A and B are shown apart, each in its own frame.
Chain A
Amino acid sequence: MSSNPLFKKIESYIKPKKKRSRTPTDVKIRLRNVHKKFYEKKVLRGIDLDIYNGESLVVIGGSGSGKSVLIKNIIGLLEPSRGSIKIEGQEVAHLNSRERSAMMGRFGVLFQGGALFDSLPVWKNISFSLMQSKKISSAEAYDLAVEKLNSVGLGGEVATLSPSELSGGMQKRVALARAIVHNPEVIFFDEPTTGLDPIMADVINDLIIKCSAELGATTFTITHDMHSAKKIADKVAMIYEGKIIWHDSVNNLNSCDNEYVQQFINGRATGPIKMKLQDH
C-alpha cells in the first residue's frame, strides 16, 4: 500500500490482514457430505473437501459436473440441500442474510463474465463495497480504485469508462480489482480465463498468482482450462457427477493413475467419461 496519507486512511477502514503463510497448517474451508439438488435433479452428491490456509485449490471438471453449483454453495449464493460447510470452523451453510453479509466481507469473487455493473463507471464498480459499507468519500473511493487498477495492470484513465467500453480482458482485470479491493481472506475465481485469448488468459493467471500472494489469501478456483489450473494451483480436485473423484497436489496431476482425470486433462473424447449429447 502507498505511503500516501489518503491510502493509509482507506487502509484503516479495511480490516488489517496478517501476512499469512502459504504453508498449509490449518483448514480454512471444510466441506462435509455436501449435497445439492434442484427438485429431483441431484447436482452435488456428497462433496468432502478441505482447503487449507493460504492454499490455492483448483477444481476441474466438465460442463454440468457441478463446479458452478459447488462454488455458489460455498459462497452462499445457494444453500446446500444437506451437509456442512465451515469457514474456520464456523458453520456457514444456513446463515441468515445479516450473517451472510458479514461473511461476504471476508470473500472476494471473480465471476466468469466479470459481472461488472453496467450502470456504474469502472471506479465505482471497484470501490462499490467500500462505498456501501465503510462510507468512504467519493474522492477516496476514486483514488483507491485507481490504485487497484494499477495493481492489475490498468491505467487510471480506465477509471471513468463504462464497463461496456472495455475489452473482455480489461473487464476481467477490473473485476479482479473489485474482488480484491477490500483485502479478502478467501478469493473465489469462477472460470477466470474463459473467453479470453491465450495471452490474456496467461496475464490473468499471473495476476491471480500475484494478487493472492500479496494478500496471503486462500483461493478457490473452478475451471476447465488445464493450462490455467496447472499454473495457479497448489492442489487440484476433480469433480465428476457431483462427487470429488480425485484430490491431490498439482505436481501429481500428470502422473496420477485416475483414468477420469487422465481423460479430462488430456482432452480425449474416448474414456470413462461419456459426454451427454442430450439432456434426455
Chain B
Amino acid sequence: MNILQVIGRLFLDFLESIGEVVVFAIRTVFHILTPPYYPKVLLKYIVIIGYYSLPVVGLTAIFTGAVLALQSYTGFSRMNAEDSIATVVVIAITRELGPVLAGLMVAGRVGAATAAEIGTMKVTEQIDALVTLSTNPFKYLIAPRVLAGVITLPCLVLIADIIGVFGGYLIGVNKLGFSSGNYLRSTFDILEISDVVTGLIKASIFGFIITLMGCFHGYNSRGGANGVGVATTNAVVTASMLILFSNYFATEFFFTKG
C-alpha cells in the first residue's frame, strides 16, 4: 500500500466517522422529541451533570477570574488603563472563559463517566438486555443524558460567570486597590444581556457535544475493558476539540456579523 492509498484510507475513515456521529446525533434528537419520555431518569442526570459538577466548575471559575484580573493589571498598568480591568474580566468571563472552561471541565468529568458507564453496559450486554426488555436504549440511556447536558450546562455557566466575576472582584478590591463601588460600576456599566445570553447559548451547544460524544463513544465501544478505556479517552478528546472548534464558529456567528 503506497502513501496515497494510506492517506485516502484515512480520509475515508474520517468521513465515515463523521457520518456515524451525525446519524447518531439525528437519532438522539429524534428520540428526545418523541415519547416515551423518562422524566425521573432526566432528573437524575441533571443532578449528576449539574449539581456534582458545581465544585469543579466553581473552583475553575473563581481562579480564572482572579488570574484574569491579575494579568490584566500587569498589562494594562503599562498603558495607564487599569480602569478597564473590571470590564475585561466580565466580558472575557461571560463571553468566552465561562462557557469554554466550564465546558472543558465538564467534558473531563461527565464525558468520561458517560462513555465509561455506557461502554461498560455495552460490553456486558446490558444494552442488549434493555432491548430484550422492550426498552429502547436511545430513549432510556442516550436521550435523557443529552437533554440533561443541554439544560444543565447553561445553568452551570451562569453560576461560573457569577463566581468568575466575583474572583476578579476579590483580587481587584483586596489586592489591586480598587474601590468596591468603582469596580462593580465598571463591571455592570459595560455588561450587556447579550454577552451573558450568547455565553449561555454556547454552553447549551457544549452540553450537547459533551454528552453526545460520551454516549457515542460508549455506545460504540468494543472489546472489553480496553475498549471501554479507548472509548473514554476518545470521548474526552473529541468533546474537548469540538468545544474549541464550535466556540470559534459560535463566536464568529454572534460577534462578528455586521
Query: Known contacts A115-B124, A117-B126; is A101 also within 8 Å of B132 by CB?
Result: no
Q: Which segment, of A16-24, A105-113, A212-220, A267-275, faces chain B?
A: A105-113
Interface size on B, residues (CB 8 A): 15
B125 to A129, Cβ gap below 8 A?
A: no
**Chain A residue contacts of B131, Cβ below 8 A:** 76-77, 100, 104
B129 at the interface (CB under 8 A from A): yes
- Complex partner residue of A107 from B117, B125, B128, B132, CB under 8 angstroms: B132
A104 to B133, Cβ gap below 8 A?
A: yes
Interface residues of B in 87-128 (CB under 8 A from A): 117, 120-121, 124-126, 128
**Chain A residue contacts of B194, Cβ below 8 A:** none
Please name the residue on chain B nearest to A108 by beta carbon: B132
B136 to A118, Cβ gap below 8 A?
A: no
A128 to B135, Cβ gap below 8 A?
A: yes
Interface size on A, residues (CB 8 A): 26
Please name the residue on chain B nearest to A100 by beta carbon: B131
Distance (Å) between the CB of B221 and the closest chain A CB?
A: 16
Interface residues of A in 33-88 (CB under 8 A from B): 72, 75-77
B125 to A113, Cβ gap below 8 A?
A: yes
Distance (Å) between the CB of B80 and the closest chain A CB?
A: 59
A104 to B125, Cβ gap below 8 A?
A: no
A128 to B124, Cβ gap below 8 A?
A: no
Distance (Å) between the CB of B115 and the closest chain A CB?
A: 15
B124 to A113, Cβ gap below 8 A?
A: yes
- Complex partner residue of B135 from A109, A118, A132, CB under 8 angstroms: A132
Whole-angstrom distance between the alpha carbons of A218 and B121 in the complex?
Answer: 28
Distance (Å) between the CB of B164 and the closest chain A CB?
A: 34
Using a CB–CB cutoff of 8 Å, the interface residues on chain B facing chain A are 117, 120-121, 124-126, 128-129, 131-136, 140
27 contacts between A and B (CB under 8 A): A75-B132, A97-B136, A100-B131, A101-B134, A104-B131, A104-B132, A105-B134, A107-B132, A108-B132, A109-B128, A111-B125, A111-B128, A111-B129, A112-B125, A115-B124, A115-B128, A117-B121, A117-B126, A118-B120, A128-B135, A129-B133, A129-B135, A132-B134, A132-B135, A132-B140, A133-B134, A178-B133
